[in-house]
Homo-oligomer: A and B are copies of this chain.
Protein backbone atom coordinates (compact mmCIF):
# COMPACT_ATOMS: atom_id res chain seq x y z
CA UNK A 1 0.00 0.00 0.00
CA UNK A 2 2.89 2.34 -0.26
CA UNK A 3 3.77 5.42 -2.21
CA UNK A 4 7.04 5.30 -4.14
CA UNK A 5 9.81 7.85 -3.67
CA UNK A 6 8.99 9.08 -7.14
CA UNK A 7 5.42 9.76 -6.08
CA UNK A 8 6.47 11.29 -2.79
CA UNK A 9 9.04 13.58 -4.39
CA UNK A 10 6.54 14.57 -7.05
CA UNK A 11 3.99 15.53 -4.44
CA UNK A 12 6.52 17.46 -2.39
CA UNK A 13 7.72 19.29 -5.47
CA UNK A 14 4.18 20.25 -6.44
CA UNK A 15 3.39 21.44 -2.94
CA UNK A 16 6.60 23.42 -3.02
CA UNK A 17 5.63 24.95 -6.36
CA UNK A 18 2.17 25.76 -5.08
CA UNK A 19 3.50 27.50 -2.01
CA UNK A 20 6.37 29.45 -3.56
CA UNK A 21 4.88 30.50 -6.87
CA UNK A 22 3.33 33.93 -7.24
CA UNK A 23 2.15 35.73 -10.39
CA UNK A 24 4.52 35.17 -13.33
CA UNK A 25 7.48 33.70 -11.44
CA UNK A 26 9.07 30.34 -12.06
CA UNK A 27 11.07 28.07 -9.78
CA UNK A 28 14.13 26.07 -10.73
CA UNK A 29 14.58 22.36 -10.15
CA UNK A 30 17.62 23.13 -8.06
CA UNK A 31 15.70 25.41 -5.71
CA UNK A 32 13.00 22.80 -5.15
CA UNK A 33 15.53 20.00 -4.75
CA UNK A 34 17.42 21.92 -2.10
CA UNK A 35 14.36 22.90 -0.11
CA UNK A 36 12.82 19.43 -0.27
CA UNK A 37 15.94 17.29 -0.05
CA UNK A 38 15.43 15.56 -3.37
CA UNK A 39 18.24 14.39 -5.70
CA UNK A 40 18.38 16.98 -8.49
CA UNK A 41 18.60 14.62 -11.45
CA UNK A 42 15.82 12.45 -10.13
CA UNK A 43 13.57 15.44 -9.63
CA UNK A 44 14.41 16.50 -13.16
CA UNK A 45 12.77 13.34 -14.54
CA UNK A 46 9.80 13.68 -12.27
CA UNK A 47 9.06 17.27 -13.26
CA UNK A 48 9.47 16.34 -16.89
CA UNK A 49 6.88 13.60 -16.49
CA UNK A 50 4.52 16.04 -14.84
CA UNK A 51 5.08 18.51 -17.63
CA UNK A 52 4.21 15.85 -20.19
CA UNK A 53 1.19 15.04 -18.06
CA UNK A 54 0.03 18.63 -18.23
CA UNK A 55 0.32 19.47 -14.55
CA UNK A 56 3.19 21.94 -14.84
CA UNK A 57 4.72 24.20 -17.47
CA UNK A 58 8.23 25.46 -17.78
CA UNK A 59 10.36 28.27 -19.11
CA UNK A 60 13.68 27.19 -20.57
CA UNK A 61 17.04 28.84 -20.38
CA UNK A 62 18.74 30.96 -17.76
CA UNK A 63 16.44 32.08 -14.97
CA UNK A 64 13.95 29.58 -16.28
CA UNK A 65 12.06 27.07 -14.20
CA UNK A 66 8.71 25.50 -13.53
CA UNK A 67 5.26 26.72 -12.59
CA UNK A 68 1.89 25.09 -12.11
CA UNK A 69 -0.07 24.64 -15.33
CA UNK A 70 -3.33 25.32 -13.48
CA UNK A 71 -4.40 27.08 -10.29
CA UNK A 72 -3.39 25.09 -7.22
CA UNK A 73 -7.04 24.62 -6.35
CA UNK A 74 -7.54 22.68 -9.58
CA UNK A 75 -4.76 20.15 -9.10
CA UNK A 76 -5.52 17.21 -6.86
CA UNK A 77 -3.06 14.88 -5.21
CA UNK A 78 -4.82 12.03 -6.99
CA UNK A 79 -3.87 13.42 -10.39
CA UNK A 80 -0.24 13.66 -9.36
CA UNK A 81 -0.02 10.19 -7.89
CA UNK A 82 -1.77 8.55 -10.83
CA UNK A 83 0.58 10.26 -13.21
CA UNK A 84 3.72 9.22 -11.36
CA UNK A 85 2.77 5.94 -9.69
CA UNK A 86 -0.20 4.61 -11.62
CA UNK A 87 -3.63 3.60 -10.33
CA UNK A 88 -4.69 4.21 -6.74
CA UNK A 89 -6.53 0.88 -6.60
CA UNK A 90 -4.92 -1.90 -4.53
CA UNK A 91 -5.83 -4.48 -7.16
CA UNK A 92 -6.50 -4.00 -10.87
CA UNK A 93 -10.01 -5.48 -10.86
CA UNK A 94 -11.27 -2.51 -8.84
CA UNK A 95 -9.45 0.13 -10.84
CA UNK A 96 -11.38 2.49 -13.07
CA UNK A 97 -8.45 3.72 -15.10
CA UNK A 98 -6.58 0.43 -15.44
CA UNK A 99 -9.13 -2.32 -14.98
CA UNK A 100 -8.09 -5.90 -15.54
CA UNK A 101 -10.06 -9.00 -14.61
CA UNK A 102 -8.76 -10.94 -11.63
CA UNK A 103 -8.53 -14.68 -11.26
CA UNK A 104 -11.76 -15.23 -9.36
CA UNK A 105 -14.63 -17.02 -11.19
CA UNK A 106 -17.24 -14.33 -10.57
CA UNK A 107 -16.27 -10.77 -9.79
CA UNK A 108 -19.76 -9.76 -8.78
CA UNK A 109 -19.74 -12.17 -5.84
CA UNK A 110 -16.06 -11.87 -4.92
CA UNK A 111 -15.78 -10.82 -1.29
CA UNK A 112 -12.20 -9.66 -1.58
CA UNK A 113 -13.03 -7.52 -4.57
CA UNK A 114 -15.86 -5.74 -2.80
CA UNK A 115 -13.67 -4.87 0.17
CA UNK A 116 -10.88 -3.67 -2.08
CA UNK A 117 -13.43 -1.63 -3.97
CA UNK A 118 -14.25 0.14 -0.72
CA UNK A 119 -10.57 0.70 -0.03
CA UNK A 120 -10.03 2.16 -3.47
CA UNK A 121 -12.94 4.53 -2.96
CA UNK A 122 -11.75 5.58 0.47
CA UNK A 123 -8.34 6.44 -0.93
CA UNK A 124 -9.73 8.18 -3.99
CA UNK A 125 -12.23 10.13 -1.89
CA UNK A 126 -9.37 11.80 -0.11
CA UNK A 127 -6.80 12.09 -2.85
CA UNK A 128 -9.19 13.26 -5.55
CA UNK A 129 -10.60 16.00 -3.37
CA UNK A 130 -7.48 17.30 -1.68
CA UNK A 131 -5.98 19.95 -3.91
CA UNK A 132 -2.57 21.55 -3.73
CA UNK A 133 -4.29 24.68 -2.43
CA UNK A 134 -5.86 22.68 0.40
CA UNK A 135 -2.52 21.20 1.37
CA UNK A 136 -0.69 24.51 1.29
CA UNK A 137 -3.31 26.21 3.42
CA UNK A 138 -3.43 23.40 5.92
CA UNK A 139 -6.95 22.31 5.05
CA UNK A 140 -7.91 19.44 7.34
CA UNK A 141 -8.75 16.20 5.60
CA UNK A 142 -12.47 15.51 5.43
CA UNK A 143 -11.95 11.86 6.29
CA UNK A 144 -9.87 12.36 9.39
CA UNK A 145 -10.76 10.06 12.25
CA UNK A 146 -9.17 11.12 15.49
CA UNK A 147 -10.00 8.26 17.81
CA UNK A 148 -8.36 5.63 15.67
CA UNK A 149 -6.16 3.12 17.41
CA UNK A 150 -5.31 0.69 14.65
CA UNK A 151 -1.70 0.16 13.70
CA UNK A 152 -0.70 0.71 10.12
Residues of A that sit less than 8 Å from B by CB: 1-3, 8, 11-12, 15, 36-37, 77-78, 81-82, 85-91, 94-97, 102-104, 109, 111-112, 114-128, 130, 135-136, 138, 140-141, 143-145, 148, 150-152
Contacts and interface: CB of A to CB of B under 8 A. Distances in A.
| Closest A-B pairs by Cβ, 10 of them | A118-B141, A111-B135, A128-B150, A89-B152, A96-B151, A122-B122, A88-B152, A3-B90, A124-B150, A37-B103
B78 A150 contact: yes
Contact of A123 (B36, B104, B122, B144): B122
Contact of A2 (B37, B87, B103): B87
> How many chain copies?
2
Given A15-B112, A123-B123, A2 B150 contact: no
Contacts of A95: 152
A148 B126 contact: no
Nearest to A145: B121
Contact of A118 (B82, B103, B121, B144): B144
